[in-house]
Structure 1
Amino acid sequence: MSRLVSLLLPVLLLLVSQAIATLFPESNQSAPKAALQACNQLAVSLGSPILQTSGNSYEKAATNAWNLENGQYQPTCIVFPTTSKHVQIAMKAIYAAKSHYAVQAGSHSAMKGWNTVQDGVLIIFSNMREATYDPVKDSITLGPGVHWHDAVTALEPFGVAPVGGRVGDVGTGLLLGGGLSWLSPSQGYATDNFKELDVVLVNGDLVTATATNQFSDLFRALKGGGDRFGIVTRYELYPVHTGTKDEKNWFGGMLLAGKYQPIVIQFNSSAEALLNATARYVREIDDPKAVLLSTFSNARTGDSLAPLYLMVLFYNGVNLPEEIFGDFLSIPAMSSTLGPMSYFDVSETLGLGNDRGYVQRFGASALVGDEETYLEAFDHWMNFTQAFQGDFNITTLAFTPVPNSQIQAGRAKGGNIINAPHGGFAAVQLAEQFNAGLNRIPPQVLEGLDLLFEQIPPSPGLPLYLSECDPRQKVFESYGDYELLKQIYAKYDPEKFNVKHTQGPVGL
């Protein structure tokens, strides 16, 4: 397509750039000394096995991050808490020493440095993975280290589920980043479903935050504001009564569209049909029972990449209504898994997604507009993929509709710090998995990503999705309650300790 070819030139020019990349962020010379001070104190106050500096458990934890880049960091010591008290003790020592630190829940972040640390203390929640249901309180309680597959599996016999992740390996960090779920159209963002949170503040104090107590501002900030305000050690959530795995009260599955053939610089007719159908769905459909994920991937097959276009369609009912999903069902499909499903089946659709050993990178946008808006986004993504295809194992462009029903459901539960102005937009994910054997992202690819973010900017007023962003994107500044977020942060971390000692999206 001539439009796509004309877009290729800017990225080709990037290939001759001479940017210098480093494996790890620059480390302050005082960082190793501060970390050693904190670890020495914790060796006394916590002891083994809670505190470890070497050995099999240390090595497994240090290298187990989903993103290979994060598996190359070597923390000075690792804390394996089993209680909130252990986290308090750790944070008091870290705060006193002014040491760098990081927190790891599910370890699934694609962002370099977000869930690990070099010359610092890593707190990892692999020993706090409970998932329970209290029928008297009608509440779900999750430990911070549980993964979504394990949580859904543990709760399924009770006929309830949390509003959580769509991939089984993802952990509870998704909740703090907002959280897009198969249940979101009817229940809001995952973060909208907090009842109360136990939080260890940066100075080591433990508080319980709810929507109505003295920490209600902290509670709101944690509903989409990430982990900079404190470390959550217990989540109490509103459950969704979805039924057991024997109750087939959903219908849907996956449709694979398009031809599996080497990538070429032209539109595949299935891609154009799926983009147009997605644009119309986002613009016109506002049914809380309807769920859609549209993904466009190019996956390595030998020496080339081949397109895989996937439609994931669900309806909380006995079929897929023609007036909602007709455009998608008319696209020729190579394969289909459509049929009656329980919510447990729905939650298992995308699998665990737990393949380790690859460098990963995400990026985010948010779009509202006509079909041309989506076609142009696809053009730019294809252009980027073509320019750097030799580096990728898989590259993906995905659209998750955020209907107005989702925004209204969240507001009915008290709202969140994201405070999207309206529904009827698509959260856009840009995801790259790099070739096996590559242990860092080439500098020219990072420059290409920067250009891609400029070419697919969020529509005015729409928020970026924290859990799927690039660490260089100004996610918090896209929030409707950004100014309030800054005020709350100034209250709970007046020294900006977390900004100085953790990495994440800029803006606070």
Structure 2
Amino acid sequence: MSLSFRAPLLLVAVLLFSLVSSTPLQAKPALLPRQQPQNSTLSVCSPLLNNLGSPTVLTPFEFEFRDAASSAWNLYNTLYTPTCIVHPRTVEDVSRVMKAIYDAGGVKYAVQAGGHSAMREWDTTDGGVLISFRNMANVSYDPVRDTINLQPGIRWGEAIGRLEPLGVAPLGGRLGDVGTGLLLGGGLSYLSARHGFSVDALVAADVVLVDGRVVTANATNEYSDLFRALKGGANRFGIVTRYEVKAIHVGTTEEKMMVGGSIVYDNSTTETLLRATANYVNNVDDPNSSILVIIGATLANNTVSPINIITFFYNGTSLPEGRANPYHEFMQITSLAVAIGSCSYAEANAVLGSGGDKGNGQIFGASAFGSAEYEISQGLAKDADESFEKYMNAYRAFNKFLDKAKGTPRPTPTGTPTPPIWPPPGFPIFPTFPAPKPPPVPTPPQYPGPFPTMPLPPIVTSTIPGSTPTSFPPAPTWSQPTSVPPPTFPTTTSVPIPTTTPGPQTDAPNARRQETSSTRGPPTWSFPSSSTLMFPTPVPYPTPSTTPRPVPVQPISFIDDPEEDGISAALLAFTPVMKSQIEAGRRAGGNMMDPPLANFAFVQFHVTMPEWLGIVPKRVAEGRREVLNEMPPSNGLPLYMNECDAEQNVFETYGQYEFLKRVYQKYDPTGLNVRFMKGPMGLGPSAKADHGRP
């Protein structure tokens, strides 16, 4: 059968099937009632299938459709069924898709780069067109311009790993599985204090506008206003098909240009740890420092197991001495485990794992706490003690939430609740530490050749600003691992070599999605000698369980009953933002967040739901709102888009909100984006509409 006949028949079959079926075309029930494809959506998908062909355009009867539709990190975003999925290979493909949507007067659509959003339908759609960038995942370095070109489907772990032999890296995120969409929300990295938000390194971007036009935006050409709007404007200003960013010279893995790691504390240290966090925000402005503080808990049945973690990295070969050490207060707190030493930037980005474990529902919420100096200057607090009270208020609200949200299942036959597993296997962000033990026997390399002789990424020379967008060469086949293992702080002269060998680069996204914690295995760590580092000696630590987490046998459940449901984990995460970071961003031309020149901390409230639970129970939803109400942001500070709740008007907190609204009106005067794509509220005529409530 010819393609011209096949396309309309397939899409008519989709419509007929959906009309007679009471459930979506998927193995799992939908989270929300299935929205039937509209004729306008079919009128977009059918010509696209004819013009672009399969497998570029997938329909629900294609073998690969279900895998593509359920590839998002957040369980809730796997429960929707698009009418068709487009896997573009070129910017021209993306342009055709958007022109078809525009010419149809608008249909529901979504864009998926890394698929790591916690907000519902921000990276998928039900009954619409899903544009997935899994086939556009290239990265290259231009030594003449000293910039890196990224296609939108690349993830930070892959980009950093491929560029590591060259000693350069993009400013990305702190988890390897997160994709390039992080840039449009700002982006935080371990180098932010010196270089600004990750998006502050943006040099140019190729953008497909809502009407299908392709433009290159940079700081000096006719699209300079669009360029500025992209730096924090999320998914509201077009589809970026190429990012050109400044190359940060971080050295190779062998050069170890950073020092840091993680420290784990028990729950008795929480107030002391929060006090140290507030003091860090109040007093530190070292452009070489970075820290992430997590107050967290896992839940097993009705038992809460709290755990506190800090992860920090200093850009240098050693830490400053005495009180000049920005982490001295944290290092004086009694800890359960310490793993600190010299590492490379690539190794630092692997310490917390990839963050790619899928199958759980994920829900975010955001706040921001000003330093004592800022709050006193704004009349929000009279002294440092009153300023610190907001940390304690947040912690008290967090504990109240845990008590409210935990499940209270019926007793087991013995009447004894299942004991908690520790270290927590389901904790969203958790460093892996082994107990001290004899050094492992080295294994031979599992990939061909040493790093210096492996094929290097192709060099792509960027165009002159304002000219035709750069096109990428075909994606190469890599003979090196696409990610970098966590640092090994040697006590022996040899360490095991990773056994993961990816296939061709075009197959890597599929392989990555099939990867599980049981196939990856835990990272390997060794502890540093106290004679070479100025850090506390590691204490004995329970050996982590290497038993793979069992796959739940029960289907997705939609119950809302404390005797049957609960949450898996929750955390409060604090990321300090220093004056040096804000100044770096302003030197780079500024961004839409445009915070005041003062230290503050982004605060994230993150809830992870059980793998089998397809809804957010009412008491969990209510408890989350109560927590966010108890930890309001300090007046005048922006919220962090990548950690927000869909009902939070993040744009409204931006220093450049008015500018953002004007630019949106210029490039999307009909409001097509906000009418047909889920995303942040605050722009266009549908600002008060549903924007993907978790």
Q: TM-score of the superposition, structure 2-length normalised?
A: 0.67
2: CA distance between counterparts of 1:382 and 1:161? 39
| 1:273-284 equivalence runs, <5 A | 273-284=272-283
Whether contact under 8 Å (2:225, 2:663) holds in the other structure is yes
**Could you tell me whether the CA contact under 8 Å between 2:73 and 2:116 is conserved in 1?**
yes
Query: 1:148 corresponds to which residue?
Result: 156
Secondary structure, aligned partner of 2:38: helix
The match for 1:416 among 591, 599, 602 is 591
Task: Give 1:397's match in structure 2, choosing from 567, 572, 591.
Answer: 572
How far the C-alpha of 1:168 sits from its partner, in A, is 0.7
Residue 63 (structure 1) aligns with? 70
Report if the CA contact (8 A) 1:293-1:399 is conserved: yes
Residue deviations 1:174-225, cap 9 Å, x none?
A: 0000001111111000111100000000000000000000000000000011
SS in 2 for 1:157: helix
Letter in 1 for 2:86: V
Give 1:52's aligned residue: 58
Unaligned residue ranges in structure 1 (runs of 5+): 1-21, 259-267
Candidates 176, 185, 197, aligned match of 1:177: 185
Amino acid at match of 2:272: A
Say which of 362, 374, 381 aligns to 2:398. Answer: 381
Distance 1:307 1:319 in 2: 31
Aligned-partner residue type, residue 570 of structure 2: T
Amino acid at match of 2:388: E
Distance of 1:300 and 1:152 partners within structure 2: 34
Aligned to 1:335: 337
Matches within 5 A, 1:391-470: 391-470=566-645
| Distance in 1, Cα, partners of 2:659 & 2:622 | 32
Deviations 1:380-423 (A, max 9, x none): 11111221022211101000000000000000000011111123
- What corresponds to 1:41 in structure 2? 47
**Contact 1:406 1:423 (8 Å CA) reproduced:** no
Kindly indicate whether the alpha-carbon contact (under 8 Å) linking 1:405 and 1:423 is maintained by their aligned counterparts in 2: no
One-letter amino acid matched to 1:358: N
| 1:248-282 deviation line (CA, Å, top 9, x unaligned) | 12111000011xxxxxxxxx431111100000001
Instruction: Report the secondary structure of 2:220's partner residue.
Output: coil
Determine helix, strand or coil for the equivalent of 1:69.
helix
Q: Residue 136 of structure 2 corresponds to which residue in structure 1?
A: 128
Q: What SS class does the counterpart of residue 212 from structure 1 fall into?
A: coil
Inter-partner Cα distance in structure 2 for 1:401 and 1:209: 30
Deviation at 1:26, TM superposition (A): 8.4
Identity %: 48
Q: How does 1:307-322 map to 2 (within 5 A)?
A: 307-321=306-320, 322=322
- Within the candidate set 88, 96, 100, 1:89 is matched to 96
Which residues of 2 match residues 108-123 of structure 1 at below 5 A?
108-123=116-131
CA positional deviation for 1:25: 7.6
Query: Which amino acid in structure 2 is aligned with residue 118 of structure 1?
Result: D
Q: Deviations over 1:138-177 (max 9, x none)?
A: 0100010001100100111110111101011100010000
Partner Cα distance (1:32, 1:357) in 2:
30
8 Å Cα contact 1:140-1:238 kept in structure 2: yes
Is there any run of 5+ residues in structure 2 with no aligned partner, and where?
1-29, 373-386, 408-565, 684-694
Structure-1 separation of matches of 2:50 and 2:394: 55
Alignment pair present for 1:203 and 2:211? yes
Aligned length: 476
Structure 1 CA distance, aligned partners of 2:403 and 2:343? Answer: 38
Matched residue of 2:357: which SS? Answer: coil
Task: Letter of the 2:74 partner, please give it.
Answer: N
- For residues 307 and 347 of structure 1, do their structure 2 counterparts lie closer, same or farther at Cα, with a shift above 3 Å needed? same
Query: How far did residue 57 of structure 1 move?
Result: 2.1
CA deviations 1:113-153 (Å, max 9, x no partner) are: 10000110000000011111111110100010001100100
CA–CA distance in structure 1, aligned partners of residues 643 and 271 of structure 2: 24
Partner of 1:102: 110
Q: Distance in 2 between matches of 1:55 and 1:338?
A: 49
8 A Cα contact 2:31 2:80, kept in partner: no
Equivalence for 2:655:
480
* Residue deviations 1:464-487 (CA, integer Å, cap 9, x gap): 000110111010000001011000
CA contact (8 A) 1:105 1:172 kept: yes
Aligned residues of 2:235 and 2:679 also touching (Cα < 8 A): no
- State the match for 2:504 in structure 1: none
Rounded to whole Å, the distance in 1 between the matches of 2:625 and 2:392 is: 20
Q: Find out whether 1:272 has 2:280 as its counterpart.
A: no
* Aligned amino acid, residue 68 of structure 2: A
With structure 1 as the length reference, what TM-score do the two structures score? Answer: 0.92
SS at match of 2:568: strand
1:51, distance to aligned residue in structure 2 (A): 0.7
Q: Distance in 1 between matches of 2:171 and 2:662?
A: 28
Which residue number corresponds to residue 328 of structure 2? 326
> Counterpart of 1:75?
82
* Cα distance change, pair 382–303 in 1 and its aligned pair in 2 (3 A): closer
Q: Which string of whole-angstrom CA distances, capped at 9 and with x for unpartnered residues, describes residues 482-504 of structure 1?
A: 01100000001100001111112
- Partners of 1:63 and 1:384 lie apart in 2 by 30
- Given that 1:182 and 1:291 are in contact with CA atoms closer than 8 Å, whether structure 2 keeps it comes out as yes
Following the alignment from structure 1 to structure 2, what is the Cα–Cα distance between the partners of residues 385 and 34? Answer: 45
Alpha-carbon offset, residue 371 of structure 1 = 2.3
Helix, strand or coil at the partner of 2:64: helix
**Range 48-57 or range 334-343, more displaced:** 48-57
Deviation larger for 373-382 or 59-68: 373-382
What CA distance in whole angstroms lies between the structure 2 residues aligned with 1:313 and 1:177? 22
Measured against aligned partners, the alpha-carbon deviations of 1:416-459 in whole angstroms (never above 9, x if no partner) come to: 11111123000001101101210121233222222222111110
Q: 8 Å contact 2:234–2:680 — kept in the other structure?
A: no
- TM-superposed CA distance for 1:44, in Å, is 1.6
Does the aligned pair in 2 maintain the 1:314–1:320 contact within 8 Å? no
**Whose strand fraction is larger, Structure 1's or Structure 2's?**
1
Distance 1:269 1:418 in 2: 36
In the aligned structure 2, how far is the partner of 1:304 from the partner of 1:285?
37
In 2, Cα distance between equivalents of 1:26 and 1:181? 38
Structure 1 residues 394-403 or 413-422, which shifts more? 413-422
Q: Deviations over 1:261-314 (max 9, x none)?
A: xxxxxxx43111110000000111000101111001101345422111001121
Selected match of 1:193 from 197, 201, 212: 201
- Distance of aligned partners of 1:365 and 1:153 in 2 relative to their CA distance in 1, 3 Å threshold: same
